[in-house]
Chains A and B, each alone.
Chain A
Amino acid sequence: MAEKKEILKLSGINKCFGNVVVAKDISLTVISNQLHALIGPNGAGKTTLIKMISGELKPDQGVVTLLDRRVNHLSEIARVHRGCIRSFQVSSIIGSMTVFENILLAVKHKRSILKMLFRKFQSNSSESSFVYQTLNQLSLETLGTKVASTLSHGDKRKLELAMALAMRPKILLLDEPFAGLDQAESSKLIELLKSIKKIMPIFLIEHDMQAVFALADKISVLNEGEIIESGSVEKIRRSKLVQNAYLGGDL
């Protein structure tokens, strides 16, 4: 068993939009080789929390620590280059490009504009095998030459995830990757995430409770910006508080 390392740590995060509180004193940690799931009703503030981790939004108060370094002052882009990679709740693939090119974007990202200007947007053999390896993981390999906007909803979700994976994350933040997948696709994705979490820690926002219970090492429950419960799958399943607030008492 590899040593447990805190990859991501939030402490005392507060955030308001006007007078709506979307994060109230949130503290949590994501540990290596763990999948930490965040569940909560619509509008609880889950996506906002991912944005504060990724750096798109700044918290009003509190500290975000990534790989043992306080990153509050770092821009979103700097955090990406440190390996903090997110996927979006709404698939945000580049519709006019092919599936292959979408992944290639993730492979080709560089900091320097000049380097990008002087290199052709073409994959060498190792890049293209890496792209296909990534597509393979999500069983998208036959769709490489398809224009992304013509994909089915489920395939778009998978491409969204594939782009994040192709960034070689040190920590992966996923915003409802299961939304809109059918049963078969969901089970496949569960298996995939099971294997991925051995390599990189995952912070997963998800409504699909079957997936969460199958995957999570730890679950936190967010309600109106507040973490009302946190712990193992068993603990969350049994929690009265959670059942009332979120699960509707029928689990």
Chain B
Amino acid sequence: MLTEKKFNLIIVLGIFAFSLIGYVINEPYFITLATKIVILGIAGCALNLILGFGGMVSFGHAMFFGIGSYVAAISAFHSMNGETIDLIFFDFNGSSQMLFNWFLAVIFSMFFALVVGSISIRTSGVYFIMITLAFAQMTYYFSVGWTKYGGEDGLSTYVRNDLFSINTMLPLNFFIICFACLCVVWFILNWVINSNFGNFLKGCKENEEKMRSLGLNPYTLKLTAFVISGAITGLAGALYVDLNRFVSPTSLSWQTSGELIVLVILGGSARLFGPLLGAIVFILLEQFLGEVTENWQFWLGVILVLIVLYFPKGVSGLIIKD
């Protein structure tokens, strides 16, 4: 049993070591796996802020992931083919700069989180789940019909965006970039849950009426958390585009939303960085079960059921002592 701090450190260093091993033994696929873990981990932790700490089960978080992806991809796409987007006040030429595309992705997903959150947070429980799902499905079908950007077939960006003068096409370099993002996200989320805000958010999860009697508005608290979560998920989406150099409506689908929830359940919602472990378990299962059997998703289901029944605190709950 470990303390939470040690747990976080070991997980993060473990992921880093895994990708270094891949580099040393010249197995770039390992590095790609590690990168995928980092990106999905970022999204899972962001979801956990509202799910585990705010009690809001968003079944539409793929929306923010996908919006981040599409925004970054569209910007990269335009910068590549030189076609401008007429934005009334100015023409936007797209950008091949990672930092700028991340920024766009975060701004857009924040904006959507604000709109979707301000409506969804009026509800709770099953209604909240359904309404977030409905919003996400709307964006999904929109992307399917948006043939300008590939529609159902998705959109390829061919090369990775640039960051300073780093060669982002080298797997290890891109991994380190994502890893740095993870560290920043770690810092931000840690800050948020240890702030007064984070503790009132936990209070809201247990008893909103009580929080109101303490002079706090649960609605604004939850909406703020929702927007922070959406923004970080959008960043993960933008990173995912650079990893795959491709985006498709799948990133907005309810299956993706479900996968994000699976990361949280696997890893454990009680600990902020549980989903990072969830991402490790998920990716490794996908990888190794997937090699053994075609029906790896079936076995994933079995594992999930067992975890929910016997380890409701997820895998991290087995490792971290209270």
B220 an interface residue at 8 Å Cβ cutoff? yes
User: A167 touches which one: B195, B207, B212, B214 (CB < 8 A)?
Assistant: B214
Instruction: From A94-102, A190-198, A215-223, A236-244, give the one contacting chain B.
Output: A94-102
Tell me how many residues of B have a C-beta within 8 Å of chain A.
23
Mark out the residues of chain A between 46 and 97 whose CB falls within 8 Å of any chain B CB in the assembled complex: 54, 56, 76-77, 80-81, 85-86, 88, 92-97
A143 an interface residue at 8 Å Cβ cutoff? no
Complex-state Cα separation, A88 to B202, whole angstroms: 19
- A-side contacts of B202, CB under 8 Å: 94, 96-97
Q: Are A77 and B216 closer than 8 Å at their CB atoms?
A: yes
Q: Are A77 and B207 closer than 8 Å at their CB atoms?
A: no
Mark out the residues of chain B between 202 and 233 whose CB falls within 8 Å of any chain A CB in the assembled complex: 202-203, 206-207, 209-210, 212-217, 220-221, 224
- A-side contacts of B149, CB under 8 Å: none
Q: Are B212 and A77 closer than 8 Å at their CB atoms?
A: yes
The total of Cβ contacts below 8 Å across the A-B interface reads 80
Report the minimum CB–CB distance from A207 to chain B (whole Å).
Answer: 21
Report the minimum CB–CB distance from A227 to chain B (whole Å).
Answer: 25
Q: Are B220 and A76 closer than 8 Å at their CB atoms?
A: no
Mark out the residues of chain B between 106 and 128 whose CB falls within 8 Å of any chain A CB in the assembled complex: none
Instruction: From A6-14, A31-39, A118-126, give the one contacting chain B.
Output: A118-126
**How many A residues touch the partner, as a band?**
20 to 34
Q: Are A105 and B206 closer than 8 Å at their CB atoms?
A: no
Complex-state Cα separation, A110 to B200, whole angstroms: 10
Q: What sequence of 0s and 1s flags, for each residue 249-289 of chain B, a beta carbon within 8 Å of any chain A beta carbon?
A: 00000000000000000000000000000000000000000
With contacts A94-B203, A94-B207, A97-B202 taken as known, whether A121 is within 8 angstroms of B212 at the C-beta atoms is no
User: B200 touches which one: A56, A105, A120 (CB < 8 A)?
Assistant: A105
- A-side contacts of B177, CB under 8 Å: none
- A-side contacts of B197, CB under 8 Å: 113, 116-117
Complex-state Cα separation, A121 to B206, whole angstroms: 18
Q: Are B214 and A117 closer than 8 Å at their CB atoms?
A: no
- A-side contacts of B213, CB under 8 Å: 54, 76, 80, 85-86, 88, 92, 164
User: B214 touches which one: A56, A109, A118, A121 (CB < 8 A)?
Assistant: A109
B173 an interface residue at 8 Å Cβ cutoff? no
Q: A116-B196, A167-B215 are in contact. List 6 more A-B contacts (CB 8 A).
A: A88-B209, A92-B213, A108-B196, A113-B221, A115-B196, A116-B197
Interface residues of B (CB under 8 A from A): 192, 194-200, 202-203, 206-207, 209-210, 212-217, 220-221, 224
Interface residues of A (CB under 8 A from B): 54, 56, 76-77, 80-81, 85-86, 88, 92-97, 101, 104-106, 108-111, 113, 115-121, 163-164, 167
Q: List the 7 shortest-distance A-B pairs measured between CB atoms, nearest first.
A: A80-B215, A116-B197, A116-B196, A92-B210, A121-B199, A117-B197, A109-B215
